Amino acid sequence: MSRQLLLEITPTQSPSLDNTVVGENAAAIDAAKGLSRGRALYLWGPPGCGRTHLLHAMIKDKMADFVDTRTCSDEIMALATLPTDKPGAEIVAVDDIQEMTAEQQAAVFALYNRWRELSATSQAFSLVVTGDRAPMMMSLREDLRTRLGWDLVFRLEPLSDAEKREAIVAYALRCGLPLAAEVLDWMLTHYSRDIRQLFALVDALDRYSLSKHRTITVPLVRQMLTDKEFLQS
């Protein structure tokens, strides 16, 4: 229960393309960095591969619309039917397409049509969508599944343990928080494999160690994960 509560914490540092660990995803990240208006990008891979991280990194500091399963279909359809005399976003990001309802899928289908219609005009925008499988393996309406492969498609590979370690060290140092090797080993062995959840753990450890006036050690990590008062605060 305590671990589950901790995983709900959002990392405090905003994802950016500059602080994204590349690993085996150099081509995908290069495509993300170079994506221009009028282009579309579909990113897919297993849970924990960094789809959402990369999506948020791409829209940072841009005029963007972000869509996920919490966005109602009417809101998505409003983006797809925006009057041409109104300025739209530079980039529209759609996360976890595989979890969307039939109504949301229909709205994203309309959004793809709008993207193509405007792709060669001054109102062109870039469209980025994430999912857990390759386009033709998705359990979606057929016309939407086809559209996922209309432009650029990249599979994201999960980071190796060494790459996760590198990412955690860099994230912690940006917080001014050096972590001992044994703490890093424990995190990678006993905690979540998802890099964002590992970042959230670093943030929580930073706050907890300050509140206890103690150096971060493995016993302190274990203590924090059983401290219900802290986790529920």
Give yes or no for residue 117 having a pLDDT over 50. yes
Give yes or no for residue 215 having a pLDDT over 60. yes
pLDDT, tens digit, 9 for 90 and up, residues 190-206: 888 778 788 889 999 99
Residues 6+ apart with CB under 8 A from 153: 41, 42, 44, 134, 135
The reported pLDDT for the residue numbered 2 is 39
Closest CA to 84 of 41, 117, 39, 128: 117
Confidence of residue 3 (pLDDT cuts 50, 70, 90): very low
> Quick check: do 2-11+160-231 and 26-155 share a fold?
no
- Unique residue bearing structure tokens 């994203």: 108
Helical residues (DSSP H) of 119-160, grouped into ranges: 142-148
Top CATH class of 2-11+160-231 equals mainly alpha
Residues 6+ apart with CB under 8 A from 39: 119, 126, 127, 151, 152
CA distances from 201 to 15, 44, 171 (A): 16, 25, 11
Residues 6+ apart with CB under 8 A from 8: none
pLDDT, tens digit, 9 for 90 and up, residues 59-74: 988 999 999 999 999 9
Q: What is the mean pLDDT of the chain?
A: 89
Q: What is the mean pLDDT of residues 135-159?
A: 94
Closest CA to 52 of 19, 8, 96: 96
Residues 6+ apart with CB under 8 A from 218: 182, 183, 186
Tell me if 156 sits within 8 A of 44, measured CB to CB: yes
Give yes or no for residue 23 having a pLDDT over 90. no
The reported pLDDT for the residue numbered 228 is 83
- Unique residue bearing structure tokens 């919490």: 70
Give yes or no for residue 104 having a pLDDT over 50. yes
19 token code pair: 């602080």
60 token code pair: 């940072």
Give yes or no for residue 177 having a pLDDT over 60. yes
The reported pLDDT for the residue numbered 175 is 84
pLDDT, tens digit, 9 for 90 and up, residues 50-61: 898 899 999 988
Q: What percent of the chain has pLDDT over 70?
A: 94
Buried b (16+ CB within 10 A) or exposed e, 55-92: bbbbbeeeebbbbbeebebeebbebbebeeeeebbebb
In the chain, what are the domain boundaries? Answer: 2-11+160-231, 26-155
Q: What is the mean pLDDT of residues 25-40?
A: 95
The reported pLDDT for the residue numbered 8 is 52
Confidence of residue 137 (pLDDT cuts 50, 70, 90): very high
The reported pLDDT for the residue numbered 179 is 93
Distance CA 193, CA 164 (A): 9
Confidence of residue 86 (pLDDT cuts 50, 70, 90): confident
CATH code of domain 26-155: 3.40.50.300
Give yes or no for residue 7 having a pLDDT over 50. no
Stated as kind and residue range, the H or E segment containing 65 is strand 64-67
Residues 6+ apart with CB under 8 A from 229: none
